[in-house]
């Protein structure tokens, strides 16, 4: 039993590390979210998750999508199921969208512009998700 718990923690830490290495700032507390979402400009929020199917597509998509000139000003991530209060606070900004993880939200000056929900990630190719994100960047991040 202890082995399984340690294995889960290792998976979570690996998922967190992937996002940090891709240039995303982790938001652990509601105050972190509020501060990040008050910043001017565009902010891409990645709702991280250990879900094997969708998470294994979302994290590489999060990393690859921002490797271009037109991209959000700020990259942040909250971890669903781990940083529950921070995730709840982030989701309070995503009006009109049900909770979904993993997922992406693009904010402009703290206002939701678009969302890529789990059903648009799971079962799709990573480049489909990357292209959806990049299309949003072209629309909102100029």
- Does 141 qualify as catalytic in the annotation? no
Where does the chain show beta strands of DSSP type E?
Answer: 25-26, 42-48, 74-79, 103-108, 111-116
Which residues lie closer than 8 Å to 139 by C-beta, 6 or more apart?
Answer: 113, 114
- Does 53 qualify as catalytic in the annotation? yes
User: Exactly one of 23, 53, 111, 125 is catalytic; which is it?
Assistant: 53
Cα 81 from Cα 74, distance rounded (Å)? 23
Look up residue 131 and give its two tokens. 């292209």
User: Exactly one of 51, 90, 107, 129 is catalytic; which is it?
Assistant: 51
Cα 57 from Cα 98, distance rounded (Å)? 20
Q: Edge to edge, what strands does the sheet with 25-26 contain?
A: 25-26, 74-79, 42-48, 103-108, 111-116
Look up residue 135 and give its two tokens. 């299309």
Which residues participate in catalysis according to the annotation? 51, 53
């Amino acid at each position: 039993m202890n082995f399984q718990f340690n294995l889960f923690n290792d998976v979570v830490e690996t998922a967190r590390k992937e996002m940090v290495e891709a240039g995303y700032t982790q938001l652990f507390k509601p105050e972190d979210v509020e501060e990040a979402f008050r910043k001017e400009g565009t902010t891409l929020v990645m709702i991280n998750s250990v879900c094997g199917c969708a998470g294994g597509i979302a994290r590489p998509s999060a990393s690859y999508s921002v490797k271009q000139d037109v991209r959000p000003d700020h990259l942040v991530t909250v971890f669903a199921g781990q940083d529950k209060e921070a995730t709840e606070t982030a989701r309070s900004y995503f009006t009109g969208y049900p909770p979904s993880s993993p997922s992406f939200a693009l904010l402009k000056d703290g206002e939701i512009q678009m969302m890529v929900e789990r059903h648009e990630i799971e079962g799709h190719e990573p480049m489909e998700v990357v292209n959806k994100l990049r299309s949003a960047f072209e629309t909102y991040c100029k």
